[in-house]
Amino acid sequence: MTTANITDAEAGCPSHLEPAFDAAIIDPSPFVRHERDNIAKLELSVHGAHCGGCIAKIEGGLKSISGVESARLNLSTGRLAVAWREGALHPIVLTQKIASLGYRAAAFDPAAAVAEVDREGRFLLRCMAVAGFAMANIMLLSVAIWAGHGGPGGGEMGPATRQFMHWISGMIALPAVAFAGRPFFRSALSALKAGHANMDVPISLAVFLATGLSIYETLNHGRDAYFDAAVMLLFFLLIGRYLDHRLRARARAAAQELLALQATTANRLTADGSVEAVSAHDIAPGERILLSPGDRAPVDGVVVEGASEVDVSLVTGESAPAEMHEGDKLFAGVLNMSSRLIMEARAKVEDSLVADLTRLIEAGEQGKSKYVRLADRAAALYVPVVHSLALATFLGWFFLADGGMRVSVMNAVAVLIITCPCALGLAAPAVQVVATGRLFKEGVLVKSGDALERLAEVDAFVFDKTGTLTLGRLKIASLDEIAPDDLNAAAMLARASRHPLARAVVDAAGAGPLGEDIHETPGCGVEGLVDGVRARFGRADWVGVEMSDANKGVASEAWFKSDDAAPVRFEFEDAVRDAAGDVIAALAEQNVESEMLSGDAQAPAQRIAEAVGVKAWRAQLAPADKIARLEELAQRGVRVAMVGDGLNDAPALAAAHASLSPGSAADASQAAADFVFQGDSLAPVLSAYDVSKRARRRVLENFGFAAFYNACAIPLAVFGFVTPLIAALAMSGSSVIVTLNALRLSSRFRAKEGSWTR
């Protein structure tokens, strides 16, 4: 089995899931896409890649091939995108190169990537269960041994009984260590084969030496054995690794959620006018597609017949539907709401807006996957220092102090155990678990393992408008100017429509009767009998109202007119989220900039920006425009936290340094975000930022304690004053202290009038 290259920064790369690669190399030519400018592109699923080192190895290897323009691997989904100049190479060269690097490539399959992640989680859970069971039983025997022989003074337990208990402990520990240690052993072996050392190398070495020394002591009738230390170490570290895996797994579904919005089948019109159901992948540019109400556009195209209202939130993020007529452009994924449309395809499925958004999301996720955590940075310094000290201890006792093999090995093992990275390994996960639990109680779900660290580093917040700074739900702004009878009459018509403006009227009026003989005209409004009188509710010109130049083009208004009565104007607005202005002001007090990026028009965007106090804002932006702005800020050295809810925000959420999304957001946006907050208030955003900064401080404190502990413990172990058993107890004590420090995060904060008090 060929293993992956793992850098010293990748502590705990789960290489236990690497498949056994066979010699069969698949020709990917049928999956190649030929684009303009003589560029060919191919998307493959890569199996066996688990860390940033894998990304660098695969991307670097492919880019070294003559003719390859770009290679990008998304670690979360396993999707590899390669582009090269037409005619420069045969596609099979790419899969051959990937195989030579120790990985397997096949046609991209999102379901296979998700299944692999699930297998990894189940494997870690089984390892943790085995280690926990073994630790509980061995600790019972260890307590009995210590109570029985009473320490150095002796006791009632005889040597034969103690020896028997050591054998029982060994029989429990050996299979448990062999099974539960596999995530660490295989990762360490992969790192060593690649010429690197990661955090799993000293962990594995300490477990092997503690177990080996325990077997040696048991065979030679020694008084002490250290099986409990080996199994306890594995159990503690597996807890942190499993929790970290669960958090990471939550963030891997963004692309799959977005692809679910793309229609898999379509109704294609044939030359004789008949309709046939075909796969969306079989649609070619120039073909005509029938869109009935409730259908999603399978590809990008233009309307060639009909008029209807279309949900374009995928493109603009706005909840209000847009009117589509002949000649208007439709994007894949938009939802036809009211009337029959015929569209002409202008692109294939793989070139549609949804596919582009998916690629943007994956590009952003790839950038996040390269983030180096604090624990990984510490591991890069820790590993060589500890190994050097252990080796120096062994050589010093064996050659200089003439201590013999047994004493030299015991002292070297004591150094490895007492400096074991248990405290270091738990320093970040312990804080992470407490912080995520604390935020969960405050209505914030943390979805990414390193999200807390990244959010604590941000210098600026970028907010979407609709659904983020606002609630994304229209309400009647002119309710005080509307007579109750007019409101109830309009509601009798509005109850027959699903239009957002009609829904706002129904919400304001509450439950009530429905008018008679009602029918809806797409793009115009609703008409029917209200108490026997003909009435209309909808667009001004359709109702019969003369529009002034000042009011022309106002999308957030509707009119109600009953027979010869004077028309009644309904003005609508999107309500600002609770505490939105307070959050912007609180961030400004901490010298954190705020900016609003919106796909809406200039006028409503300006109104919301002024209402919440955001000075920097931009409107009428496409998804790519939002990413371009984030990249512009990143080039200036600004680390940005993106807060958004729309489908069009998902790529920006994935590309930002950290990201947050409300619980009412689209599934794809929630999947792409690092945090999801509940409720109608924006205050949880500030809470998440505050907790993240405090969590980072706790992690740094834990690292500082681990360094201080090692500085005190290492000299004692090097000079032989600490036995491996005492070292194991000290190691456990350091883990407890690290955990207790993390629990300090559980202190509650409460929001009161925009300020934060303990």
**Could you give the residue numbers annotated as active site?**
464
Give Cβ neighbours of residue 429 (< 8 Å, ≥ 6 apart). 239, 240, 241, 243, 244
CB of 656 closer than 8 Å to CB of 455: no
Give Cβ neighbours of residue 168 (< 8 Å, ≥ 6 apart). 141
Comparing CA positions, the residue from 492, 406, 412 lying closest to residue 208 is 412
Q: Cβ–Cβ contacts within 10 Å for residue 708, how many?
A: 11
* 687-704: b (≥16 Cβ within 10 Å) or e: bbbbbbebbbebbebbbe
Comparing CA positions, the residue from 179, 178, 185, 171 lying closest to residue 214 is 171
Question: Phi and psi for 139 in degrees, rounded to 5?
Answer: -65, -35
DSSP conformation letters of 632-653? HHHHTT--EEEE--SGGGHHHH
Strand partners, 616: 595
Cα separation of the two ends of the chain: 55
Amino acid of residue 118: D
Comparing CA positions, the residue from 90, 89, 95, 124 lying closest to residue 107 is 95
CB of 231 closer than 8 Å to CB of 135: yes
Residue whose token pair is 């295989």: 186
Distance CA 429, CA 422 (A): 11
Helix axes 683-718, 404-418, angle to 10 degrees: 160
